[in-house]
Amino acid sequence: MKTLDPIAVKQITKVNWAPFYLLGPAALLMAMFLLGPLLAVLGLSFTDYQLGAKSLNWIGFENFIELYHDKNFWRSLRNTALYSVVVVPTSVLLGLGVALLIEAQKSFKDFYRTIFFLPVMATLIAMAISWQFILHPSFGFLNLLLKEFGLQGHNWLRTEGLALWVLAAIGIWNQFGFNMVLFLAGLVSIPRHLYDAAAMDGASTALERFRLVTWPLLGPVTLFVVVITAIRSFQVFDTVAILTKGGPSKSTEVLLYTMYAEGFEFFKSGYASAVTIVFLVIVLALTLIKTRYLEKRVHYV
């Protein structure tokens, strides 16, 4: 425990309104836009509320039961999981690989880092439109390139069984630079002398040094990167909304898109809230893992 300094004691002894007016606006907005809505979404998920309806009824777990029997919802959950299962390992490994390659350079580090980071910050909506043109069945670069090699092109975004993979590829393109930066930060913090020590112990190849030093010390960062990427993958929305709208025949429907469609296109607020709760539980579980790690790191540093 810290001891109180005299100034602080003086602060306590007289009535001090400062915290209240300094925190007032933030507290009010926090209640209005975060805590209140969080309780409301939970409450709504137990009602049959439809946007614009005059009244609403408490229907218990009916939304969740409907959800359980809703093939579309399961499909959406499965698609989101599949998307994440593809995007998370690929973008994490790619991020790590690129970070290792860059870190091994003496020159052009900033040059590469800048390029790989561009997709992270460029407006994804605008870039998705560029991808759409690249993937265009008749005039798109990709099909024209395949044609040069005598290969058959595809209607990439309109083919069931292909569209989700294409979206995952765009997701990887969009995310791995972010992971690269986190890995680069992790690599920089590994003390040089550990590599010297490993070399003295006979670790002569780069692969051995990686196995003995880099990988163990990068372990916590890797866990952190995996969880963040998973959270971001579960929130995939932009590319789905503008490239496929969940199609063809629901093959790219993902959780947030289902929530958006139910809530804001079909105006089924109650049902959409139930979808939100499922989304929330998954993201919350992932976030808790991450927070655990962050706390640990704070303790060690």
Partner 1 sequence: MFSRTLRHVVLLLLAAVVLFPFIWMVLTSLKPPEEIYVDHIRWLPDRMYWIENYTRAFTKAPLAQYLLNGVIVTVSIFLLQVFVNLPAAYALSKLRWKGREFVFGLVLACLLIPPHAVAIPVFLLLHQLGLLNSYASLILPWTISVFGIFLMRQFFMTVPDDLVDAARMDGISEFGIVWRVMLPVAYPALTAFGIFSLVAHWNDYFWPLIAVNEQALFTPPLGVVHFRNDDAGTDFGALMAAATVVITPLLVAFVFLQRRFVQGITMTGMK
Instruction: Scan residues 215-274 and list those touching partner 1 (CB under 8 A).
Output: 224, 228, 231, 235, 237-238, 241-242, 256, 259-260, 263-264, 269, 272-273
Q: Which is nearer to partner 1, 64 or 112 (CB)?
A: 112
Alpha-carbon torsion angle 89, 94, 99, 101, nearest 10: 140
126-133, Cβ contacts within 8 angstroms, sequence gap of 24 or more: 127/174, 128/170, 128/238, 128/239, 128/242, 128/243, 129/242, 131/170, 131/239, 131/243, 132/157, 132/242, 132/243
Q: Which two tokens stand for residue 216?
A: 């163990």
Among 134, 194, 223, 289, binds partner 1 (CB under 8 A): 134
- Out of 164, 182, 212, 254, the residue judged to bind partner 1 by CB under 8 A: 182
Residue with Cβ nearer partner 1 (55 or 161): 55
- CB nearer to partner 1: give 53 or 161: 53
Stretch that binds partner 1, among 70-78, 158-166, 176-184, 192-200 (CB under 8 A): 176-184
Interface with partner 1, residue 108, by CB under 8 A: yes
| Cβ distance to partner 1 smaller for residue 84 or 273 | 273
102 is a site residue for partner 1 (CB under 8 A): yes
- Where in 32-91 is the site for partner 1 (CB under 8 A)? 32-38, 40-41, 44, 51
- The answer to whether the CB of 230 falls within 8 A of the CB of 88 is yes
10-29: which residues touch partner 1 (CB under 8 A)? 11-12, 16, 18-19, 21-23, 25-27, 29
Please tell me the distance from the alpha carbon of residue 278 to that of residue 144, in angstroms, as a whole number: 42
- Nearest distance from C-beta of residue 105 to partner 1, angstroms: 7
CB of 112 or CB of 195, closer to partner 1: 112
Take residue 288 and report the two structure tokens written for it: 């808790």
Check if the beta carbon of residue 238 is closer than 8 Å to that of residue 286.
no
Any idea what the Cα angle at residue 141 is, between residues 137 and 143, rounded to 5°?
45
- Span near partner 1 by CB under 8 A; candidates 66-74, 78-86, 100-108, 154-162: 100-108
CB of 59 to partner 1, least distance (A): 16
Q: CA–CA distance from 29 to each of 17, 32, 36, 185, 212 (Å)?
A: 19, 5, 10, 35, 50
In the complex, the smallest distance separating the C-beta of residue 75 from partner 1, rounded to whole angstroms, is 19
Nearest to 254 by CA among 128, 125, 84, 70: 84
The Cα-based distances of 210 to 79, 179, 188, 273 in angstroms read 35, 18, 14, 47
The stretch among 60-68, 108-116, 193-201, 212-220 that binds partner 1 (CB under 8 A) is: 108-116
Q: Which of 126, 188, 200, 301 binds partner 1 (CB under 8 A)?
A: 126
Cβ-count burial of 140 within 10 angstroms (0-12 exposed, 13-18 middle, 19+ buried)? buried
Say how many residues touch partner 1, by CB under 8 A. 97
Nearest to partner 1 of 14, 161 (CB atom): 14
**Which member of 84, 95, 178, 244 binds partner 1 (CB under 8 A)?**
178
Q: Cα–Cα distance between 206 and 97 in angstroms, integer?
A: 13
Range in contact with partner 1 (rule: CB under 8 A) among 58-66, 134-142, 160-168, 194-202:
134-142
Q: Could you tell me the two tokens for 88?
A: 């998370």
The two structure tokens encoding residue 242: 């503008």
Give the pair of three-digit tokens for residue 222.
Answer: 């890797």
114 binds partner 1 (CB under 8 A): yes
